[in-house]
């Protein structure tokens, strides 16, 4: 595609210097990925400034450079809102792929991944093909790769959507993070449906306060077209507000308040859950091997989405019966002594609270008189406000807690733990073991029949990041390694 063709199709204003037309061979914001005939976007990021690498980009063959700063090269075009420009150019370069399939976006603090996988399963069992972009992995047809960002930057995003279109896919289901929305990674994408799960304290190191966090999430719904579908959790305090200004068709789900799809008669056990739903005046029973009350909300969100695509309740019931748990989301491992180890990604204060409360509810239903033993830590160089809150929830709601390390990154693990301890109000029902492997071993050793050993924070992750180095670490492997100690 000619550079001049791309320029004609985008609608952003900027001053263009005399640059010779050329065949665009690719787009990049990393100078190391630039090849002859590329457009380079010199973006000032959170950790580095692409303007430092303009000369490298030119050496590698960049034909034009877009920047928000003045540079000393004639190849540079100074623009405003460079991320929006990059997103717009990416959409044009990859031939507007989001308009050629049904794009479903899932946003919220907790539940995005499970909701996304459920939606994809409902679609596939109904005969549709669907790609996936999320926290765990990216699936674009024949290609599957580990995720690097929950929501990739716009160049990678449009490239993957283009691959889905080439693979004749009908849908793409995508997790949409608040940071991605603010940083215009999904700018210009044509979402057909958007789903809001919930909003609790997270990423406040980036957003500064809950209002900014909410406004970031709201962007997704405000950009929907009138033909689109806006779906929200009516039990969440932000559920109504987030759809306030959307022109799309609104749909609400709930367990408490009135809504378009409401769950009731819930029964939760270690083997799964079942509940009834009311939809258009009729009752339907849903059964799943997923555990925890929070998963009822995830199921409701996903069902709400696929009802818009001519998928009936009979098909939904069958798919849900066969749906297996998502990696790192309340995964259960039976221990030799009759206790259950549960590995969960809970890394926010609210998700930790939900996981513990769900464990307690399951134990009460099972009537085993078991205990909840919670093992958790907090990540380094992330939102610090949640640390004392998580310390309070874990020790207040669990019978016993082991506070340990998660991904300390560039922070001292013990300093993180000390911040967690500032929120602890109980006595004698917790201990501190900084080494995560030893903490898991200890939790298994002290378990007995009927207990739930809840291991939180890492879920699907298979590494522990310390001083910028990712060392292999898998919570499930640790459980298997020490399971014989559960006597």
Q: Are residues 220 and 255 in the same domain?
A: yes
Q: Are residues 31 and 126 in the same domain?
A: no
Q: Are residues 113 and 46 in the same domain?
A: no
Determine how many CB atoms are found less than 10 A away from the CB of residue 65.
27
> pLDDT (tens digit, 9 = 90+) per residue, 366-421?
888 999 999 999 999 888 999 999 999 999 999 999 999 999 999 999 999 999 99
Q: Which whole number is the average pLDDT over 124-134?
A: 95
pLDDT given for residue 445 in this prediction: 98
Determine the Cα–Cα distance for residues 387 and 423; give it in Å rounded to an integer. 8
Q: Are residues 105 and 173 in the same domain?
A: yes
CA distance from start to end of the chain: 66
| Position 46 pLDDT exceeds 90 | no
> pLDDT (tens digit, 9 = 90+) per residue, 216-265?
999 999 999 999 999 999 999 999 999 999 999 999 999 999 999 999 99
Strands of 261-305 (E only): list them. Answer: 261-269, 272-279, 282-288
Please give the mean pLDDT across all residues of the chain: 93
Q: Are residues 352 and 301 in the same domain?
A: no
Q: Which residues contact 106 (CB under 8 A, 6 or more apart)?
A: 112, 115, 116, 119, 173, 174, 175, 176, 194, 195, 197, 301
Domain's final residue, options 277, 299, 322: 322
Domain total in the chain: 3
Helices (H) and strands (E) in the chain, counts: 16, 23
Q: Are residues 140 and 208 in the same domain?
A: yes
Domain's final residue, options 34, 68, 93: 93
Domain with 352, as residue range(s), is: 331-485
Residue 132: which H helix or E strand, with range?
A: strand 130-133
Nearest to 394 by CA among 344, 329, 466: 344
- Token couple for 145: 């790769």
Residue 188, phi-psi category: left (phi > 0), alpha (psi -120 to 50), beta (remainder): left
Q: Are residues 313 and 369 in the same domain?
A: no
Look up the pTM and report it: 0.91
> How many whole angstroms from its chain centre is CA 149?
9
> pLDDT (tens digit, 9 = 90+) per residue, 131-165?
999 888 888 877 777 767 678 899 999 999 999 99
Q: Are residues 350 and 449 in the same domain?
A: yes
CATH of the domain at 44: 3.40.1390.10
Q: Which whole number is the average pLDDT over 83-109?
A: 96
DSSP states along 139-180: E-SS-EEE-SSSS--HHHHHHHHHHHHHTT-SEEEEE--HHH
| Burial zone of 158 (CB within 10 Å; 0-12 exposed, 13-18 middle, 19+ buried) | buried
Residue 343 to residues 95, 272, 458, 475, Cα–Cα distance (Å): 41, 15, 8, 7
CATH of the domain at 449: 3.90.190.20
Q: Are residues 220 and 111 in the same domain?
A: yes
**Angle in degrees, 0-180, between the axes of helices 154-166 and 82-93, rounded to the nearest 10:** 20
Q: Are residues 440 and 481 in the same domain?
A: yes
**Angle in degrees, 0-180, between the axes of helices 313-322 and 112-125, rounded to the nearest 10:** 120
- Token couple for 460: 């699907």
Q: Which whole number is the average pLDDT over 40-52?
A: 88
Domain's final residue, options 33, 64, 93: 93
């Amino acid at each position: 595609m000619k550079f001049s063709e791309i320029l004609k199709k985008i609608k952003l204003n900027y001053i263009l210097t005399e640059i010779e037309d050329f065949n665009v061979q690719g787009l990049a914001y990393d100078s190391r990925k630039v090849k002859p005939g590329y457009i380079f976007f010199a973006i000032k990021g959170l950790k580095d400034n692409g303007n430092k690498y303009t000369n490298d980009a030119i050496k590698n063959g960049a034909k034009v450079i877009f920047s928000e700063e003045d540079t000393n090269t004639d190849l540079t075009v100074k623009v405003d809102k460079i991320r929006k420009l990059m997103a717009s150019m990416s959409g044009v370069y990859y031939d507007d792929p989001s308009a050629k399939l049904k794009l479903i976006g899932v946003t919220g603090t907790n539940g995005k991944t499970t909701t996304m996988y459920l939606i994809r399963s409902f679609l596939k069992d109904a005969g549709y093909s669907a790609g996936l972009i999320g926290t765990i992995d990216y699936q674009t047809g024949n290609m599957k790769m580990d995720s690097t960002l929950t929501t990739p930057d716009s160049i990678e995003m449009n490239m993957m959507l283009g691959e889905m279109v080439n693979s004749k896919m009908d849908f793409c289901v995508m997790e949409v993070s608040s940071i991605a929305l603010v940083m215009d990674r999904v700018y210009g994408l044509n979402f057909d449906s958007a789903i809001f799960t919930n909003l609790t304290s997270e990423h406040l190191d980036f957003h500064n306060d809950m209002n900014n966090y909410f406004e970031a999430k709201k962007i997704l719904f405000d950009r929907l077209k009138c033909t689109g579908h806006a779906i929200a959790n009516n039990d969440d305090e932000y559920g109504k507000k987030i759809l306030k200004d959307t022109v799309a068709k609104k749909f609400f789900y709930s367990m408490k308040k009135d809504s378009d799809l409401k769950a009731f008669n819930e029964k939760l056990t270690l083997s799964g859950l079942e509940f009834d739903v009311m939809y258009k005046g009729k009752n339907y029973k849903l059964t799943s091997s997923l555990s925890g009350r929070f998963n009822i909300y995830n199921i409701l969100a996903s069902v709400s989405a696929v009802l818009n695509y001519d998928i009936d309740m009979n098909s939904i019931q069958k798919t849900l019966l066969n749906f297996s748990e998502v990696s790192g989301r309340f995964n259960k491992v039976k221990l030799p002594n009759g206790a259950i180890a549960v590995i969960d990604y809970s890394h926010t204060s609210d998700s930790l609270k939900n996981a513990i409360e769900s464990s307690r509810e399951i134990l009460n239903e099972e009537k085993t008189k078991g205990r909840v033993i919670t093992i958790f830590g907090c990540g380094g160089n992330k939102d610090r406000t949640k640390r004392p809150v998580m310390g309070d929830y874990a020790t207040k709601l669990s019978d016993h807690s082991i506070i340990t390390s998660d991904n300390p990154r560039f922070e001292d693990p013990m300093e993180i733990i000390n911040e967690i301890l500032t929120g602890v109000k109980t006595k004698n029902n917790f201990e501190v073991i900084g080494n995560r492997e030893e903490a898991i071993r200890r939790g298994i050793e002290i378990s007995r029949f009927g207990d739930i050993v809840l291991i939180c924070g890492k879920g699907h992750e298979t590494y522990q990041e310390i001083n910028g180095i990712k060392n292999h670490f898998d919570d499930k492997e640790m459980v298997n390694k020490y399971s014989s100690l559960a006597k």
